[in-house]
Amino acid sequence: MFKLSEIKELIKLLDQTSSVHELEIESEGMKLAIRKPDRSEAVEAHVVPATPYPYPFTHAPQPPALQQTSGQAAPVPAAPQQETLAAPAEGTLHKIVSPMVGTFYTSASPDLPSFVSAGDRVTEKSTVCIIEAMKLMNELEAEVRGEIVSVLAENGQLVEYGQPLFLVKPES
């Protein structure tokens, strides 16, 4: 299994070298591929499990295609249906963003209710979702006290580092 810190270090090393443009590593049934982009391309990194990972879900959701080729736009998956309340101006809202690339889950198990929904009140320590990365379930906390205004990701959706997941109206 690859640790996030190890992947970050590999990306940094690849970025600093001028002669290596692509790196593939296979270990413990996982394959990590990192390719240094040309100046006209976006960064591309993939971690693919050798077999589907059933826990805690009965089936693994299929992520949207992330391939991007030089000069061509990548296919864009259909926009998720968002759960939203009537909200104040977006500039006054706090964004809870994904701290890593992974799969977004609204609950700890498919048969359990979502951690939060639009309209729910949260504290700084309230768990709002789980991000699964490399078979590790990472609970994400709200970081702020307030009211969930919008859930921006769909259950089972692949999310990117820094992608907004929730909008929260902070308490004054």
The pair of three-digit structure tokens given for residue 169, joined into one six-digit string = 């109206």
Q: Give dist(CA 133, CA 114) in Å, integer.
A: 19
13-55 pLDDT, tens digit per residue, is 767 766 667 777 777 777 777 776 655 444 445 454 444 444 4
Residues with pLDDT less than 70, the chain: 1-2, 14, 17-20, 36-91
pTM tops 0.75: no
Closest CA to 102 of 65, 77, 136, 53: 136
